[in-house]
């Protein structure tokens, strides 16, 4: 642990590094895809295939996805029509299509005409009903695209290999095959495969799976029937048109939870190791028991954030439960076996390998890049809020109690920030005297301090310095010195850039992710 040094033009070059900016998160590709994605067969027996449900009435208004977040029934299906023969449009309001092309119903205009969205081309227009039929066996479930709700539906349906195809929430003009598929490497119960459209031929293909990228399809029915796809992705059955829950979508019945030993404690509650018994399936989970009886704004924010934020580097919310005897509120999440990163580091005999620390940095930047894309600010990024999976390989960002959507015009949120106690050691200069000045660049500063923590093996940034001293030093231009074991180039090119005094001089998480992905590890 070194001292604090003053930032000055003579100490560091004033010219900022130029970063390539990528505006969307990158899902990790193979080596872990099945057969390269380390998929392990779930021992739970499959249910017998269910008969397809009758299609909904075409004229019925489509559900509002947002309204389904707190409902006991999730409508997933919108009517899909398939071309029974090719059709060439006869006027500007119509669209042409080929035999077997899939189209999503927008509205039924009259007994002879439909307005549809042609899925391969993305074009919309009118078609004659005489040239199409409704597809009752379609794998498409286009009424909901939020991956959190989709995950809840897959978990509730509880059939290994059950799947659906939905629109991508993050990538324009793309779809996602979501499936109940265990991935032990990433500690997930579901997996999501991006399906893109090749602009040269308007065909569907798996754009991020090296094993499957060369296969192209003119329809989703053709895609799911292909044996080459089924040899890699363990498809079993398409989930129903709608999923019925006994309670609100996110509620987990208390009797399904078996709570065991305490594994941690935070500001608002204690965390326990537990198991979730869902039919024949038993899932290891973490349960956060909240000290408070009611829902504060902080707890509500954490729950709502976790419902909508689903990413490989974000701790997954499985649902909410309540003890009927004590009325304790329980937040149920995936279990990260090795606990928080700070404690894990401090318990090691020596500093982890350089390559391990760089990988941690990259994974954190991936998770924060996803928050950046969604316009979320975490506001409490620190090693204590980063959790570690089994074998110390995978890390995920947790504790969204102080997170919020970036909204400069939301005066109420920013006023609330004035009254919240934030950890001084991780605060950017602009927040020291005005906590309502937060932005994603404040999180970038905190990320720089997290990197300091990594190289200090979980030690506190600024050592034993008093809170008032840290506030004074940071607000007048001081920056944390390079930890003794941190390489000069990593400090100069990554950490120091995150700790720029002016928020706009700090790189984006997208740029940091790209930089760290290419970072050489000896």
Query: Residue ranges for the binding site?
Result: 289
How is 417-477 classified by DSSP, letter by letter? HHHS---GGG--GGGSS-GGG--HHHHHHHHHHHHHHHHTTTPPTTTT--HHHHHHHHHTT
Query: Is the preceding peptide bond at 101 cis, omega within 30 degrees of 0?
Result: no
Residues linked to residue 37 through DSSP beta bridges, in sequence order: 33
Distances from the Cα of 242 to the Cαs of 26, 108, 154, 239, in angstroms? 30, 22, 11, 8
- Name, in order, each residue with C-beta under 8 angstroms of 388's C-beta and a sequence gap of 6 or more: 336, 337, 338, 339, 340, 341, 344, 394, 395
The DSSP secondary-structure symbol of 494 reads: I
For the chain, count helices (H), then strands (E): 12, 22
Say whether the peptide bond before residue 35 is cis (omega within 30 degrees of 0). yes
Two structure tokens written together for 261: 């030993």
Count of CB atoms situated within 10 Å of the CB of 60 = 12
CA–CA separation, 114 vs 107, rounded Å? 6
The tokens of 166 are what? Answer: 């939905």
3 state DSSP class of 332: strand
Helices 354-373 and 509-517, packing angle to 10 deg: 150
CA 516 vs CA 21, 353, 378, 395, 512: distances in Å: 13, 16, 20, 16, 6
Is 443 one of the catalytic residues?
A: no
In the set 340, 380, 399, 443, the catalytic residue is 380
Cα 419 versus chain centre, distance = 29
Burial readout 253-265 (b: 16 or more C-beta within 10 A, e: otherwise): eeeebebeeebbe
Q: Catalytic residue numbers?
A: 380
């Amino acid at each position: 642990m070194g001292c604090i040094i003053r930032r000055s033009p003579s100490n560091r070059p004033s010219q900022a590094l130029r970063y390539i900016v990528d505006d969307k998160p990158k899902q990790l590709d193979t080596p872990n895809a099945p057969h390269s994605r380390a998929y392990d067969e779930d021992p739970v027996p499959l249910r017998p295939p269910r008969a397809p449900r009758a299609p909904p009435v075409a004229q019925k208004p489509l559900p509002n996805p947002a309204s389904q977040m707190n409902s006991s029934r999730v409508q997933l299906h919108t009517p899909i029509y398939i071309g029974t023969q090719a059709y060439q449009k006869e006027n500007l309001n119509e669209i042409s299509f080929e035999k077997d092309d899939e189209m999503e119903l927008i509205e039924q205009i009259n007994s002879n005409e439909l307005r549809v969205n042609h899925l391969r081309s993305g074009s919309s227009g009118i078609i004659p009903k005489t040239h199409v039929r409704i597809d009752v066996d379609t794998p498409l479930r286009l009424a909901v695209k939020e991956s959190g709700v989709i995950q809840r539906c897959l978990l509730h349906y509880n059939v290994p290999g059950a799947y659906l195809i939905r629109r991508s929430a993050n990538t324009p003009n793309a779809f996602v095959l979501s499936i109940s598929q265990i991935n032990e490497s990433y500690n997930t119960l579901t997996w999501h495969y991006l399906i893109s459209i090749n602009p040269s031929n308007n065909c569907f293909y798996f754009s991020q799976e090296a094993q499957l990228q060369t296969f192209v399809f003119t329809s989703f029915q053709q895609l799911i029937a292909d044996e080459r796809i089924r040899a890699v992705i363990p498809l079993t059955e398409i989930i129903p048109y709608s999923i019925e829950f006994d309670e609100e979508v996110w509620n987990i019945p208390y009797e399904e939870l078996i709570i065991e030993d305490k594994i941690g404690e935070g500001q608002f509650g204690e965390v326990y190791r537990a198991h979730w018994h869902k039919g024949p399936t038993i899932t290891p989970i973490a349960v956060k028991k909240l000290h408070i009886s009611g829902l504060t704004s902080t707890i509500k924010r954490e729950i709502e954030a976790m419902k909508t934020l689903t990413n490989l580097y974000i701790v997954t919310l499985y649902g909410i439960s309540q003890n009927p005897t004590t009325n304790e509120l329980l937040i149920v999440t995936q279990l990260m076996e090795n606990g928080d990163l700070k404690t894990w580091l401090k318990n090691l005999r020596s500093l982890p390998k350089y390559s391990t620390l760089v990988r941690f940095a990259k994974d954190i930047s991936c998770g924060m890049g996803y928050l950046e894309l969604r316009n979320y600010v975490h506001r409490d990024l620190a090693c204590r809020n980063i959790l570690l999976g089994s074998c110390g390989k995978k890390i995920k960002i947790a504790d969204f109690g102080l997170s919020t959507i970036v909204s400069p015009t939301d005066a109420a949120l920013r006023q609330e920030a004035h009254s919240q106690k934030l950890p001084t050691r991780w605060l950017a200069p602009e927040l020291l005297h005005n906590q309502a000045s937060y932005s994603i660049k404040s999180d970038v500063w905190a990320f720089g301090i997290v990197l300091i923590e990594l190289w200090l093996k979980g030690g506190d940034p600024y050592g034993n310095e008093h809170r008032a001293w840290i506030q004074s030093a940071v607000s007048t231009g001081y920056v944390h010195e390079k930890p003794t074991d941190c390489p000069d180039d990593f400090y100069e090119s990554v950490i120091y850039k995150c700790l720029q005094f002016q928020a706009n001089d700090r790189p984006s998480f997208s740029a940091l992710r790209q930089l760290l992905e290419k970072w050489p590890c000896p």
